[in-house]
Structure 1
Amino acid sequence: MEEFLASSTYIDWQHPAVLAQALQLAGRSDDQTEIARRCFHFVRDQIRHSWDYRQNPVTCKASDVLVHGTGYCYAKSHLLAALLRANGIPAGLCYQRLTIANEPPFCLHGLNAVFLPQHGWYRLDARGNKPGVQAEFCPPQEQLAFAIATAGEQDYDGIWAEPHAAVLSALLEQPTVEAVLENLPDADLSTATTPARLKFS
């Protein structure tokens, strides 16, 4: 589990602002499921999805997502992982490959997995709700933002400790949220191999 608790360049939970927010969310609770629920709701509801709100700047690091209060799904998943790890709760990154309007082209969608003592690895999606999107924290049942509905879409069963290179490229190289939308990351992760990945079982 060490990789899923680590502080790193993009999941920088040791940043003072991230750590302070994580501790505030935990409060006096020592119930990891309850803390995970609070962290999920904070990122889902208090951090604005960059495109939903047309809000710059483009963020990637968890600390930048928190400071600016905005991020694409990928960046929001970095912050959620950081808040969970700061509370000693193993967390990683997951991806789906989806269409934008039920037909190609495809792009990756970022979400999270958290390890809960009573349930094991559990996926959750804090991209932010809106009409037609209703993600919830209700373990052991998953309620993600998007279902696989179109031929060619994929629900990858890996858990990554660090962001995928395609995601980093999109967030770090594009200057505005509009530019990110025009260059959404895509990759076929079905045959990807990495030592920081687990399988759901």
Structure 2
Amino acid sequence: MPDQPTPAHLAATPAIDRDHPTVQAFARQHAQGGTDRERAVALVLAVRDGFRYDPYRIDLSPAGMRASTVLANGFGWCVPKATLLAAVARAAGIPARLGFADVRNHLSTERMRQTMKTDLFIWHGYTDLWLDGAWRKATPAFNIELCEKFGLLPLDFDGVHDSIYHAFDAAGHRHMEYVNQRGAFDDLPLAQITADFHRVYGDWMQGAGAQGDFLTDVAREPVAGR
């Protein structure tokens, strides 16, 4: 018996603000197709490629983590981009929830490793979408331009198979290792994420994240562990 969706997976929350006018407009514009699967695929690609991945600009305030804030900013890191995907999916009538895992060998830079003092990224976010009777994982973090520029395999989503990070990049370098699955959540567990970030990344959080331009830094050293 699969883990069934509930009304909560279509509801608005402070972070997954599916009723916000800009979220509603984005869903209407991009949820194109004759089936939920086709509409979900279109939404995943629109969120993945329409918003620049930027882990240097992390705002853990409630306002900073809202789906509508990603729309307003035009960029986000993995958690708010996953939150945006959940919001627009719910706005389009597709049940959605947030999934989290701890990962190693994430796309990183020397600046991030020096400030974070670890290569472990906790609370990496993705989105679960309910399609054809099952939850399917979609990871909209890395936009296609970033993948093409730095030799990463883009994460495509077909609505049938889970779309999670590849273990290796296009050149065969080690890219991503999932070390801990934290499970699925009906809403963004912001208090827990914030507490864990301050516990694990104390120095980094004191400085409000890495300072500089992420794309400039990653161009010098595209993938952690090379």
TM-score (norm 1): 0.73
SS at match of 1:83: helix
Q: 1:101 to 1:149 in 2, by over 3 A?
A: closer
Aligned residues with identical type, % of pairs: 27
CA contact (8 A) 2:47 2:81 kept: yes
Paired position in structure 2 for 1:36: 40
> Does the C-alpha gap of structure 1 residues 101 and 159 become closer, same or farther in structure 2, counting only changes over 3 Å?
closer
Q: How far has the Cα of 1:167 moved from its partner?
A: 2.9
Per-residue deviation, 1:166: 3.1
Say whether 1:125 aligns with 2:150.
no
Instruction: Give CA deviations for 1:158-195 in whole Å, capped at 9, x if unaligned.
Output: 32111123335559x8785527xxxxxxxxxxxxxxxx
- What runs of 5+ residues in structure 2 fail to find an aligned partner? 1-5, 108-117, 168-174, 199-204, 212-226
Number of the residue aligned with 1:110? 125
With over 3 angstroms needed to count, the CA separation of the structure-2 counterparts of 1:99 and 1:86, relative to structure 1, is same
AA partner of residue 82 (structure 2): S
- What is the one-letter code of the residue matched to 2:54? S
- On the 8 A contact 1:136/1:144 being kept in 2, the answer is no
Match of 2:27 among 3, 17, 22: 22
Alpha-carbon RMSD = 2.9
- Point out 4+ residue stretches in structure 1 off by more than 6 angstroms: none
Alignment of 1:76 with 2:81, yes or no, is: yes
Give distance in 2, aligned partners of 1:35 and 1:101: 29
More strand by share: 1
How far apart are 1:145 and its partner, in Å? 2.0
Query: Is 1:162 paired with 2:187?
Result: yes
SS at 1:112 equivalent: strand
Greater RCO, 1 or 2 (C-alpha within 8 Å, sep 6+): 2
Q: In 1, distance between residues paired with 2:31 and 2:97?
A: 19
Report the residue type matching 2:185 in the other structure: W
The one-letter amino acid paired with 1:9 is P
What is the rounded CA distance, in whole Å, between the counterparts of 1:139 and 1:39 in structure 2? 11
- TM-score (ref. length: structure 2): 0.66
Q: Which of 70, 82, 91 is matched with 1:86 structurally?
A: 91
Consecutive unaligned residues of structure 1, counting only runs of 5 or more, are 180-201
Judged with a 3 Å threshold, the aligned counterparts in structure 2 of structure 1 residues 133 and 166 are, in CA distance, closer, same or farther, namely farther
Higher helix proportion (structure 1 or 2) = 2
